[in-house]
Structure 1
Amino acid sequence: MKNNTIGKRIAEARINRNITQEHLEELSGLSVSTISRIETGKYMPTIENLLKLSEILDVGLDYFLYDLLPHNKDIQSPAIQDAISIMNQMGERQTEYIVKILKIYQASHQD
């Protein structure tokens, strides 16, 4: 992954929302110089700042981190990819619980 992919995605989301760096400064509390350094890849934002920016820019964290997350290229279904992405963010117990629910659902809907 290139060093500034996260920054490029933040800039892209900001521009898509017609938000200037100055307006993002007002909304986020981050200085324009910090925003600029993040967008150019000179500074890596903290998880706290990524969460704040994702909320302000109305995108999920996965939008910023897509290239850092493992992907199964064989899965074509967006719904399954979304489910995998969600489950990757869960703990082991939560994931096992979801798998049990899916198995119960599958067993009750077999024709």
Structure 2
Amino acid sequence: MIAMAVQDDWLSVAKAAKLAGCSEQYIRRDLLEHLPRDEKGEPTSDRTHGGRLDGWLVNGRAWMVSRASAEALRETLSTRAAVHAPARAARKAGAAVQKRAKRPSAKRKKSR
């Protein structure tokens, strides 16, 4: 008996990227990195193994991504963003202060 996946459980890379809140390139890179390969570097399967995302390569060209793994990726990325947000805000504030310090003060022309 062949196990059939429910169509709603799999998303295209574009839809998975939108759901996860990241770029399509990020998803494709993760999928390609976790594709099983032989000694020569050739893919041995069309299903990913051990990555952040569960996906499979359709007809050697298009990726389908599991909805559950895309939702899990969204949670990990949002957690990471929340952890690094204070440092990012501090860097932005520091850069704004430096810009103000470097900006030459406006000199007024003396009227005669």
* TM exceeding 0.5: no
Higher helix share: 1
Larger % of strand: which? 2
Larger Rg: 2
Query: How does the TM-score come out when normalised to structure 2?
Result: 0.26
Q: Which has the higher contact order (CA 8 A, sep 6+)?
A: 1
